[in-house]
C-alpha cells in the first residue's frame, strides 16, 4: 500500500485508569495538531463491544486503513484488534505509562505523548505486506545426519509417502550408536542387554526406494525457506544443488575432549575410561575391573 493511501486514526482509550492518570484532552490536541493525524477519537474502552464497533465502523466506511490504538499492551487483546480488518498499531499507555509512572505528573503526560508519537511514526513506515501467492514447493525431505535419529526420521518420512535424501559426512551410516555392540533393553521382557537395532534399521533405509543415501557428503549452503529450500551438497565428486520442502537436522554429537578430563582423574589409572573407550572394551569382549 502506498504511503498516500494511508488513512490514519488514533483511538485514545479512557479505560483501565488511563483517563484518570493523564489528560486525554492534551493528548488529543497533540495528535490532531503536532502529529497531524486527521481523525482522533476517545473511547470508553477500546477493547469493549462498543469500542470495537466504533473502530470497525470507521474502517468499514473507508475512513481508516491504519488504526493506532493508544490503550493497553500489544501483548493483550491481540485477537480482538487483529480482527478489525485494518493495520493495527498499538501504543502502550497502560503498562508502560500510567501503571508505571505517577498519575497527573508532567513527565507522565510527556511520556504518554511520546508513546503515541512513536506509534504514529511507526504507522507511517508500515506498509501492507504483499499477498503470498501459490509458488513452487517441494515435498522432498532432506535429512542431515546418518545416525539413529537421522535414520529413524528418514524411514518414518518415507512411510508417509515422502521422498527423502539422507546425507552423512562420513563413509558409513549408524553414527556413534552404530558402533555399540549391545543396547539397553528396548523390547519386552526388558531384561538384560539386547542386540543393537541399528544394523537392521540401516538395512531398511538402504532398501527403501524412496530414500536416497549420500555418504561422504556435507551441506555447504542453504537458501530459501520452508517449502522451497535450495541446498548445496558437497562431496568428493563436486557440488550438487537440490530443492527440498523441509530439512531435518540430526547431526549428532562429538566425544568430549579427554585433555580436559585430567582434573577428574582421567589418565591417572588404566581403569578410568571414557564412555567411548568403555564401549570399545565391551565390543572387544574384554573384561576390566
- The three cell numbers of residue 33 are 495538531
Q: Domains of the chain: which residue ranges?
A: 3-125, 141-249
Architecture of 141-249 per CATH? Answer: 3-Layer(bba) Sandwich (3.50)
Question: Residue 79: enclosing H or E segment and its boundaries?
Answer: helix 78-82
Q: By the 8 A CB rule, do 65 and 124 touch?
A: no
Reduced to 3 states, what is the DSSP secondary structure of residue 85? coil
- Say which CATH class 3-125 falls into: alpha beta
CA atoms within 13 A on the CB side of 135: 10
Q: In 3D, which of 172, 177, 176 has the Cα closest to residue 196?
A: 177
What single DSSP character describes residue 94?
Answer: I
Name the pTM for this structure.
Answer: 0.53
> What is d(CA 39, CA 48) in angstroms, rounded to the nearest whole number?
20
Tell me the helix, strand and coil percentages in the chain, rounded to 5.
Answer: 35, 25, 45
| Maximum CA extent, the chain | 88
* DSSP annotation string for 98-151: ITTS-TT-HHHHHHHHHHHHHHHHHHHH--PPPP---------EEEE--SHHHH
Residue with cell 508417509: 160
Are 166 and 211 within 8 A, CB to CB? Answer: yes
Please report, in tens digits, the pLDDT of each residue of the chain (289 residues total). Answer: 444 578 999 999 999 999 999 999 999 999 999 999 999 999 999 999 999 999 999 999 999 999 999 999 999 999 999 889 889 999 999 999 999 999 999 999 999 999 999 999 999 999 887 766 666 688 999 999 999 999 999 999 999 999 999 999 999 999 988 888 888 888 888 888 888 889 999 999 999 999 999 999 999 999 998 999 999 999 988 899 999 999 999 998 888 999 999 999 999 999 999 988 888 888 777 555 4
Residue for grid cell 582423574: 265
Task: Tell me if 35 sits within 8 A of 120, measured CB to CB.
Answer: yes
Amino acid at each position: 500500500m502506498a504511503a498516500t493511501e494511508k488513512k490514519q486514526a488514533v483511538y485514545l482509550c479512557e479505560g483501565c485508569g488511563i483517563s484518570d492518570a493523564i489528560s486525554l484532552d492534551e493528548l488529543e490536541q497533540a495528535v490532531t495538531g503536532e502529529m497531524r493525524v486527521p481523525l482522533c477519537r476517545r473511547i470508553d474502552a477500546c477493547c469493549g463491544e462498543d469500542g470495537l464497533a466504533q473502530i470497525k465502523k470507521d474502517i468499514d466506511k473507508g475512513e481508516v486503513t491504519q488504526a493506532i490504538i493508544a490503550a493497553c499492551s500489544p501483548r493483550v487483546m491481540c485477537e480482538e484488534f487483529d480482527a478489525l480488518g485494518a493495520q493495527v498499531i498499538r501504543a502502550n499507555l497502560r503498562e508502560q505509562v500510567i501503571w508505571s509512572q505517577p498519575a497527573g505528573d508532567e513527565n507522565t503526560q510527556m511520556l504518554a505523548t511520546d508513546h503515541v508519537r512513536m506509534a504514529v511514526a511507526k504507522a507511517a513506515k508500515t506498509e501492507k505486506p504483499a499477498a503470498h501467492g501459490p509458488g513452487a514447493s517441494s515435498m522432498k525431505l532432506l535429512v542431515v545426519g546418518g545416525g539413529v535419529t537421522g535414520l529413524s526420521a528418514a524411514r518414518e518420512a518415507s512411510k508417509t509417502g515422502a521422498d527423502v535424501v539422507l546425507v552423512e559426512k562420513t563413509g558409513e551410516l549408524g553414527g556413534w550408536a552404530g558402533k555399540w555392540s549391545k543396547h539397553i533393553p528396548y523390547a519386552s521382557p526388558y531384561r538384560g542387554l539386547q542386540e543393537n537395532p541399528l544394523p537392521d534399521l540401516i538395512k531398511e533405509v538402504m532398501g527403501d526406494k524412496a530414500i536416497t543415501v549420500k555418504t561422504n557428503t556435507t551441506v555447504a549452503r542453504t537458501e530459501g525457506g520452508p517449502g522451497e529450500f535450495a541446498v548445496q551438497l558437497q562431496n568428493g565428486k563436486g557440488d550438487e544443488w537440490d530443492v527440498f520442502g523441509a530439512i531435518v537436522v540430526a547431526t549428532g554429537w562429538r566425544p568430549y575432549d579427554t585433555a580436559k578430563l585430567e582434573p577428574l582423574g582421567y589418565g591417572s589409572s588404566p581403569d578410568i575410561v571414557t564412555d567411548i573407550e568403555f564401549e570399545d572394551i565391551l565390543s572387544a569382549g574384554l573384561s576390566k575391573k
